[in-house]
Amino acid sequence: MKKPDYQPLNKSEMARDLGVPSEERAEFRAALVELEAKGELVRGKKARYRVPDRNSGGDLIRGQLRMSNDRKRRSAFFVPEDPASSPIFRDMERPRVFVPGRFTSTALDGDTVDVKIERGAPPKWHKHSPKHRARMNDDTEYIQARVVEVVERSERPIVGIYHGKGARASVAPQDGRLPASFRLMSILPEAKPGDIVVASFTEWSDVYQPPTAEMVKVLGREDAPGVDILKIIHRYGLPLEFPETVLAEADLIDEVVSEEEIARREDWREREVFTIDPEDARDFDDAICVTEKPDGRWELAVHIADVSHYVKPDSVLDKEARKRGNSVYLADRVIPMLPEKLSNGVCSLKPYVERLTHAAVMDFDSCGKMTKTRFVSAVIRSHHRYTYEQAYEQMMLTDEEVEAIEDEKQKQLTIRLKRAWELGSLLRERRYQNGALDLDFAEVRVVLDEGGRAIGVKRSVYDESHQLIEEFMLAANEAVAYETRNAPAPSIYRVHEDPDPGKLEEFADLARSFGHRIGDMTHRPELQKLLQSVKGNVEEHSIKVALLRSLRRADYRAEPMGHYGLAKTNYTHFTSPIRRYADLVVHRVLRRILSKRGEATAPDLPGRTPTAAEMGDISYRISRTERVAAEAEMETQRLKMIEYLESTCREDPDAVFDATVLEVRPIGAFVELNDLMIKGLIRKEDLSPRDEYFFDRIHKQFKSRCNAPTLAAGRTVSVQLLRVNHIKGFIDFVPVEAAPDFSQW
């Protein structure tokens, strides 16, 4: 195929020319698929293969294509796999390049592609959007990318509505990032037009013809119970079941800890170890024990479920956990990283049963400074399981109320819990003194009935019980990161890079629109001052969410590059190996370090840990699975929140909600409901004509010529639900009458 006279052939033509016997055709086709996946072959028009030409008109760059949600334009952004490999991306804050719709070819969202970088005039919308500009050497020329070849398809399932029959059968995806229609080459017999179905992509070789797919699953009618969540699960490619081989390997694990294993570990069964978790939690992967020393010092033991004892490297369980990357917490279910036998069974630190742990035992002085750390393989028997609500109630008891507790065991646990908060509050105060940002806020989650219907909402306040566990987990993660970095040993770290100053300035403009006087947001104390000033105010949630969006997304790296939000130089994830693969890898690395030193209580040397290069690959993959999980989780929560909002308005058509204006643009005012934390839009065309609203571009607000309430960022307004676009997830509100603006009182 590398010969100059080679003419591209499809797989059948190639097999015929090469004389491949019929009994070897399947193996031959598999070899072609493998070569294409590696990028050594590319499939062009009419599925004909050739070697990629990397020297025609310039070097090609490989990366991922992220399509816009506007299928009419079919534009996209190209994100390189290795930004450092090209000088074009080295100075970019966010390495990516715009791909005009006419240059996306037959690529789909998420595909790995080879592109050629070209100079060109910016699209019209680019001219007014400086944050999206990608400049070359001056302000008049912009770079853009042209897709040359599709190297690897994303394999993301296609979820949509089944239309037609026979040769006219098609599936219309509800995801705007995909083409409007895929022609179905095969149909399941149980499928009926109008059903929501899942299809698998087969081919797209001609941009002027629709792509093709095969139907693989029928989910049911769109209004059938549970189909709404199943659509999201399949669209994101989340696994619903574990393979039989994985379940079989899990079943071989003994749920009872052997006496032999107990004898090899440090025994903490008589120490007052306890857990604090959400009320509906079933996988308890961390437990704590706090001891106050006579001289004012503290000992904190953070016990983490010893998943690495049960899940060995390169086992079937390990490969499945690496593939999943993390557990996914959807509105109506949990999709675990590990089978239930481990996640809710032998690895869960349930009370009153023996459980194996890997513990970080840390000493702190009277000011909350860590002075000494050791790591041990231990066995515990949790003395109590608190929910966050129960722990908070106990922590807030006065000394007199504690003394009045008749049950001596309960009294001692309460005393231990209150002392734990004494240390936790010291650590929290010290962390903020070091520059950490307070980005915690209350959350609202939907309550579902047994049929999966939204029947209410539950607001969780981030109180002292949550803060206690957070501080102890942060301390353990930092201690482990310090240990692995100084070993040194290849490992995985949690990295949060410094923000883009331009993004912070945009955030500053938003904060000022709420009436806050602020200085330079690149100066960390100014950020802390702002976050402190909004605490308890109606705009607190909006301000913190806006700040989070202006910061970079934290991810996993093979190098410790620091954590901006936590103001920590060394940081990793160690405390949740039941639900995060990164933590499981870190456990293995730490145990290997300690075993080599002869410091581990249980001297079982684990299997080979990944090399630095392999750590980089694992970090990249689990960062992607984490992003997918986060998007799916948010989408299911928003879906059910909209369902609850609609049902509330059906029961009470005159229902009015208090909302805060977040931002005002020519299209309208973006608002968030104060109680439900649902975002939506008051569109310009939906404003009452009699109030004669007009957009004030200078002050970025909608004003009325008839003295109706002004719509500006930070204002409180009463709204009613107007419409919901279920396909795009848009919610439109309409103002009824202005609520009092307490900020002006």
- How many whole angstroms separate alpha carbon 637 and alpha carbon 457? 11
Phi, psi of 63 (to 5 degrees): -175, -165
171 and 254 fall within a common domain: no
Positive or negative: CA dihedral 710, 713, 717, 721:
positive
- How many whole angstroms separate alpha carbon 628 and alpha carbon 617? 17
- How many separate domains does the chain show? 6
- How many whole angstroms separate alpha carbon 415 and alpha carbon 402? 7
335 and 214 fall within a common domain: no
Look at residues 152, 169, 197 and tell me which one is the last residue of a structural domain: 152
Identify whether 389 is part of a domain.
yes
Give which of 252, 380, 303, 348 is closest to 587, Cα–Cα: 303
Asked if residues 213 and 200 have their Cβ atoms less than 8 Å apart, the reply is yes
And the tokens for 584? 């499981």
Identify whether 91 is part of a domain.
yes
Question: In 3-state terms, the chain is what percent helix, strand and coil (to 5)?
Answer: 35, 25, 40
SS3 (DSSP) at 152: strand
Identify whether 421 is part of a domain.
yes
Burial of 22 (0-12, 13-18, 19+ CB in 10 A): exposed
- How many whole angstroms separate alpha carbon 570 and alpha carbon 560? 6
Look at residues 152, 168, 197 and tell me which one is the last residue of a structural domain: 152
SS3 (DSSP) at 291: strand
Residue 102 is classified by DSSP as G
697 and 582 fall within a common domain: no
Identify whether 646 is part of a domain.
no
266 and 384 fall within a common domain: yes
Identify whether 236 is part of a domain.
no
Identify whether 660 is part of a domain.
yes
Identify whether 559 is part of a domain.
no
The residue whose two tokens read 């702002």 is 530
The domain that contains 659 carries what CATH number? Answer: 2.40.50.140
Burial of 408 (0-12, 13-18, 19+ CB in 10 A): exposed
Identify whether 294 is part of a domain.
yes
108 and 136 fall within a common domain: yes
Asked if residues 200 and 170 have their Cβ atoms less than 8 Å apart, the reply is no
528 and 611 fall within a common domain: no
The domain that contains 176 carries what CATH number? Answer: 2.40.50.640
- How many whole angstroms separate alpha carbon 470 and alpha carbon 424? 9
And the tokens for 166? 């026979």
pLDDT for the residue numbered 128: 46
**DSSP assignment string, 37-74:** HTTSSEE-GGG-EE---SSSSS--EEEEEEE-S-TTT-
Give which of 412, 377, 385, 414 is closest to 303, Cα–Cα: 377
342 and 283 fall within a common domain: yes
Give which of 724, 735, 554 is closest to 660, Cα–Cα: 735
Question: 10-residue block means of pLDDT along the chain (745 residues)?
Answer: 84 89 88 74 71 60 89 88 74 81 92 85 52 42 85 91 90 91 95 95 90 96 92 94 96 93 94 92 92 92 96 95 96 95 95 96 95 95 94 93 91 93 96 93 88 90 93 97 93 95 88 85 91 86 88 94 95 97 96 82 71 93 95 94 94 93 92 91 88 86 87 90 85 74 37
326 and 263 fall within a common domain: yes
Phi, psi of 543 (to 5 degrees): -65, -45
Alpha helices in 286-344 (DSSP H): 307-310, 316-324, 340
Look at residues 152, 168, 184 and tell me which one is the last residue of a structural domain: 152
Q: Where are the beta strands (DSSP E) in 238-324?
A: 266-267, 274-277, 286-292, 298-305
- How many degrees, rounded to 5, is the angle at CA 274 between CA 626 and CA 263? 95
589 and 473 fall within a common domain: yes
590 and 454 fall within a common domain: yes
And the tokens for 104? 């996306």
133 and 278 fall within a common domain: no
Alpha helices in 434-463 (DSSP H): none
398 and 382 fall within a common domain: yes
- How many whole angstroms separate alpha carbon 76 and alpha carbon 423? 50
Query: Domain range for residue 624?
Result: 244-492+567-633
